[in-house]
């Protein structure tokens, strides 16, 4: 059975105010209810992660499995302070990247879209995650049944509180985005060209109406496309590094990378004081392209 019987239940209550949207399309007010999550899904780190996980380039230092598990345990502990219910999925040694649970599914408003992942070695992760999500009484939709040619990774899906921005990347194709728009038809969908592994490899939500994004060529191109294609207007928090722009905005708190990982970008985090912040080490996951959003599925 993939779903562990262990549920971690402990959190602090956070208040939030309702959102208002102006007629100009600019986000107004503190729409924290759009980023308020009652449940998160995480996975263990398989032993195979250290040697067999997918990575674009070999890191200068090999993945330290002990450190990776330590960092991941801290990650889970930190989010457990913010979310009352964490579902812990047993790691599967057949899928070295299974700790990156964000990719196999997107869950929103009671519906779980099971992805057909863009990398062949990860396809089986989707069925494993489907079993977990079925146990949570969610409405299940499978991308492969909507379009046989569609592919999509959850790391390409950015929900802004009012619309979905989806990366058109090596892992997510046009057919996948079209099928996604059919499932979550109550919200606009805008396709954004992504030159990084995933769209969220260089951007994420860092607050209500605020997108963290890198100033690299890929980040600048993505920001231009968002400004041209998005249905709403956003503010931007600009980082020199792609990975530093990936953060988790959960229940009014921002979890972000450490200065040791991105020293050039840390002054941006230091000066950003709109919400409480927590530094979360993630050096070993990052060696396999895994950033902070990658290791959890947030359920509202």
Catalytic residue positions, numbered: 198, 294
Fill in the DSSP letter of residue 63: -
- Could you give the CA distance from residue 88 to residue 64 in angstroms, rounded to a whole number? 22
Residue with tokens 């999509």: 152
Fill in the DSSP letter of residue 299: E
- Could you give the CA distance from residue 21 to residue 6 in angstroms, rounded to a whole number? 40
**151 contacts 176 by C-beta, under 8 angstroms:** yes
Residue with tokens 């950015």: 158
Burial status of residue 148 (CB atoms within 10 A of its CB: 0-12, 13-18, 19 or more): exposed
- Could you give the CA distance from residue 201 to residue 195 in angstroms, rounded to a whole number? 9
- Could you give the CA distance from residue 32 to residue 249 in angstroms, rounded to a whole number? 10
DSSP secondary structure string for all residues of 103-120? TTEEEETTEEEE---SSG
In the chain the first and final C-alpha atoms are separated, in Å, by 25
295: three-class secondary structure by DSSP? helix
Alpha carbon 57 to its chain's center: 21
């Amino acid at each position: 059975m993939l779903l562990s019987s262990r549920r971690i239940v402990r959190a602090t209550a956070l208040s939030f105010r309702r959102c208002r949207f102006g007629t100009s399309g600019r986000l107004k007010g503190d729409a924290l209810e759009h980023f308020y999550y009652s449940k998160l899904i995480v996975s263990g780190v398989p032993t195979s992660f250290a040697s067999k996980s997918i990575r674009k380039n070999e890191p200068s230092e090999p993945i330290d499995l002990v450190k990776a598990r330590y960092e991941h345990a801290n990650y889970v502990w930190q989010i457990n302070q913010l979310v009352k219910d964490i579902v812990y999925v047993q790691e599967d040694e057949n899928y070295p990247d299974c700790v990156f649970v964000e990719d196999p599914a997107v869950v929103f408003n009671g519906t779980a879209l099971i992805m057909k992942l863009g990398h062949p070695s990860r396809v089986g992760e989707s069925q494993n995650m489907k079993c977990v999500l079925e146990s949570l009484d969610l409405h299940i939709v499978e991308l492969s049944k909507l379009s046989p040619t569609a592919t999509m990774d959850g790391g390409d899906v950015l929900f802004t509180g009012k619309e979905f921005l989806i990366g058109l990347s090596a892992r997510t194709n046009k057919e996948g985005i079209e099928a996604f728009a059919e499932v979550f038809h109550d919200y606009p969908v805008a396709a954004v060209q992504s030159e990084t592994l995933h769209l969220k490899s260089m951007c994420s939500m860092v607050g209500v109406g605020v997108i963290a994004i890198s100033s690299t060529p890929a980040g600048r191109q993505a920001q231009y496309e968002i400004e041209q294609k998005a249905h709403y207007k956003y503010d931007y928090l600009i980082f020199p590094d792609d990975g530093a722009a990936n953060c988790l905005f959960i229940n009014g708190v921002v979890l972000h990378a450490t200065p040791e990982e991105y020293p050039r970008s840390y002054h941006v985090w230091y000066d950003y004081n709109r919400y409480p912040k927590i530094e979360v080490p993630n050096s070993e996951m990052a060696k396999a392209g895994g950033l902070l959003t990658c290791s959890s599925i947030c359920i509202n």
